[in-house]
Structure formats: C-alpha cells, structure tokens
C-alpha cells in the first residue's frame, strides 16, 4: 500500500471515530436532558418551549 493510500485510510478512520464520538455525545446529552426533565420539570420548562423535537423540524423542512 502506498503512502498516499495509507494516509487516506488513516484520514477515513479518524473521521469515522469523530462521527462515533459525536453520536455518543448526542445520545448522552439526550439521556441527561430527559433525566433532568423527569426529576426537575420546572427547571426545564422555559427551555423546552424554545426547543423543537427532531420530528417537528423534519416536518417543517419537508413542508417548505
């Protein structure tokens, strides 16, 4: 395998690791938010009014 092929493979592996990390963090924060919301609903009340669910965002985008 040439050096350029090896460099491309390393870049691809690094990007894959970054995507995995992003999704792990996203899932962690979703679980954290849901736990806080269950235990302290008043603390989250003002925040949730400005946040749209992913399905609402998709519906809004698809209607455009």
- Confidence (pLDDT) at 3: 85
- Confidence (pLDDT) at 26: 93
User: In sequence order, what DSSP letters do the residues of 6-55 get, joined into one string?
Assistant: HHHHHHHHHHHHHHHHHHHHHHHHHHHHHHHHHH-HHHHHHHHTTPPPHH
Q: Locate the domains of the chain by residue range.
A: 3-62
Tokens for 57, please give them. 């965002």
CB contact burial 47-61 (16+ within 10 A = b; e otherwise): eeeeeeeeeeeeeee
Per-residue pLDDT of the chain (64 residues; tens, 9 = 90+): 688 899 888 999 999 999 999 999 999 999 998 888 888 877 776 665 555 566 666 666 666 6
Name the average pLDDT for the chain.
79
Q: Tell me the C-alpha distance between 10 and 59, whole Å.
A: 38
């Amino acid at each position: 395998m040439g050096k350029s092929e090896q460099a491309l493979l390393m870049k691809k592996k690094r990007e894959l690791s970054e995507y995995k990390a992003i999704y792990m963090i996203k899932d962690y924060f979703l679980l954290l938010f849901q736990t806080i919301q269950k235990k302290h609903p008043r603390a989250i009340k003002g925040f949730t009014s400005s946040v749209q669910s992913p399905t609402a965002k998709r519906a809004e985008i698809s209607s455009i």
